[in-house]
Amino acid sequence: MQKDNVITLKKPETNNDLLTEVIRNGARQLLAAAIEAEVKEFLDHHNHSDAKARFVRNGYLPEREIQTGIGSVAVEVPRIRDRESKIRFGSSVIPKYLRRSISMNEFLPLLYLKGISTNDFVDALTPLVGDNAKNLSPGVISRLKAEWEDEYEVFRKRDLSKKRYVYFWADGIHLQARMEGSAECVLVIVGATEQGTKELLAIEGGHRESKESWLSLLLNLKNRGLTLAPKLSVGDGALGFWGALTEAYGETRHQRCWFHKMGNVLDKLPKSLQVQATKQLQEIWMSETRSKAYSAFDLFVKTYESKYFKATECLQKDKEELLAFYDFPAEQWAHIRTTNPIESTFATVRHRTYKAKGAFSRTTILTMVFKLCESAEKRWNRLRGFNYLADVIRDVKFNDGIRQEMKNESVNERDAA
C-alpha cells in the first residue's frame, strides 16, 4: 500500500493559559460531582435501609486523564465493593478505558485528513490539551487508525437483510485531500428507516461518480440483503447515479436536489442577477402546490430564457424530477428536497481538509470520512411526519403533500355538515 503523504509541523511553544486552567479546574469539579451523583444513585437503588448494606464504597480507582477539547482533565472514579461479588459499578459519565472525549475522537480523523503526520499529533494538539497528551503518541494514533480501518471494514460488509429504507440521499464528495487516484471521489448514501431515523448506509470510493462506480455500490447493497427499493432517492444531477439507480432499483422515484440545482443555474447567470434569481428559484420549491410551482417555474424561464438560455435549459431538463416531492408528505418536504443530510455533514470536512503533496491512500481517506460521518450520525434529526412513512411504504397517494384519504374524509365531513 502506498504510504500517506504528510506535512511536518514545528513544535509549538508551551503556553500556560490561566483561563484554560480555570475552565479545566471547573471541568474537574463538574465531573467529580456528576460521578458522585451516579455513585449515590447506585447505592440508594441497591442498598435497602432495613438490611445490612450490600454495596459499600472502597476508595478510588487510579487517577486517569481524559483528553478533551479544553485540555487534559484528571478524574478519579470511585470503587464500589459488592459483598456478594456479583454486581459492579460502572460510570456512564466516564466509562471504563475512556481516554478521549467524543469531541476529540471527531477531531483526530479531521486532523489526519488535514495532512497531520502520526508523529506530529502531540505537537499539533499541545496548545489544546496541554503537555500531558501522553495517550496521543504516534504508537497510539497508529493503533487507533488500525482499529478504525477494522471498524470500516465491518461497516461495509454488514448484513442488511433486516433493513428497510424509505428514502435515499446520495452524493459524490470531492475532498481537497485527494486519494491515490486523482479522479477518485467518495460516494456516500444516507438512508431513512421506516421509523424516520437517518442512518449512514454506504461510503465507498468512486471514479468520477461514474455509473459503474455507483452501480457497484448499489448492487453490493442488494447482495447484502437490501432488496426492497427505497420509495424516493434524492441526489444531484450526476447522470452516473441515476442510471445506476434505475438499473439496481428501477421502481424508485427520482428527486433532484434543489441545493445543487440552484447552484448550477446561478453559475450561468451574471452576479448582478443572482440575488433576484435566487428569490425566484426559491418561489418554485417553496410553493404550497405543484400548480403554483409550475407557474413560478414558467415565470423564471420566461424571464431569463432569451438572454440566458443555458441557465433556463439547466433548470428545465430536470423539471419533473425537481418537483417529485409534491407526491410525498408535506411534513417531509424539508428533508427530501435537498441532500442536506450529506451536505451539512461534509461542509466542514470540505473546507478544512488539506491538499497535501501527492495523495492519501484510498483506505485512509475512506476510513477517516467514515469516522467523521459516524460521529455526525448521532446528531441527525428524525424526519418530521415520520408517522406517514408507513403510508409511503404502502403507496398511499399524496397530492401536494396531503394524503388523499384524509382529503376525501375532510370533503365528506364538510358535505355532511
For 89-122, write each residue's pLDDT tens digit: 665 545 554 444 445 555 666 666 555 666 666 6
Higher pLDDT, 356 or 341: 341
C-alpha distances out from residue 225 to 55, 220, 229, Å: 48, 9, 11
Amino acid at 249: Y
Quick check: pTM over 0.75? no
For the chain, counts of helices (H) and of strands (E): 16, 11
Higher pLDDT, 10 or 121: 121
Flag the least confident range among 51-60, 78-87, 113-122: 113-122
**CB-CB contact of 88 with 46 (8 Å):** no
Q: How confident is the model at residue 11 (pLDDT cuts 50, 70, 90)?
A: very low
Residue range 28-51, pLDDT digits in tens: 566 666 667 767 777 777 776 656
Flag the least confident range among 128-132, 190-194, 257-261: 128-132
Amino acid at 397: K
In the numeric block, the cell 423539471 is attached to 319
C-alpha distances out from residue 308 to 116, 256, 258, 284, 311, Å: 45, 22, 19, 18, 6
What's the rounded Cα separation, in Å, for the pair 386 and 407? 19
DSSP assignment letter at 7: B
Higher pLDDT, 54 or 65: 54
In the numeric block, the cell 418537483 is attached to 323
Q: How confident is the model at residue 261 (pLDDT cuts 50, 70, 90)?
A: very high
User: CB-hemisphere CA count at 13 Å for 111?
Assistant: 21
In the numeric block, the cell 413560478 is attached to 296
What's the rounded Cα separation, in Å, for the pair 411 and 417? 10
| pLDDT, average across residues 409-414 | 51
pLDDT of residue 197: 96
Element (DSSP H or E) covering residue 213: helix 211-223
What's the rounded Cα separation, in Å, for the pair 227 and 219? 9
- pLDDT value at 237 more than 80: yes
Query: Three cell numbers at 249?
Result: 432499483
What's the rounded Cα separation, in Å, for the pair 370 and 157? 14
| pLDDT, average across residues 360-375 | 81
Residue 334 CA, chain-centre distance (Å), reads 17
- pLDDT value at 71 more than 70: no
pLDDT of residue 8: 40
Higher pLDDT, 416 or 314: 314
Cα dihedral sign, 90-96-100-102: negative
Name the nearest CA neighbour of 350 among 369, 337, 367. Answer: 369
Most confident residue range from 8-12, 127-131, 170-174 = 170-174
Cα maximum dimension of the chain: 90
Distance from first CA to last CA of the chain, Å, rounded?
75
Flag the least confident range among 3-17, 72-86, 145-159, 278-292: 3-17
Amino acid at 57: R
Query: In 130-191, which ranges are continuous DSSP H helix?
Result: 138-156
Residue range 130-161, pLDDT digits in tens: 554 555 666 666 777 788 889 999 999 999 99
**CB-CB contact of 184 with 250 (8 Å):** no
- pLDDT value at 123 more than 90: no
Could you tell me which residues come within 8 angstroms of residue 288 by beta carbon, excluding any fewer than 6 positions away? 400
Name the nearest CA neighbour of 165 among 118, 203, 199, 136. Answer: 199
Averaged pLDDT score across all residues of the chain: 78
Higher pLDDT, 9 or 370: 370
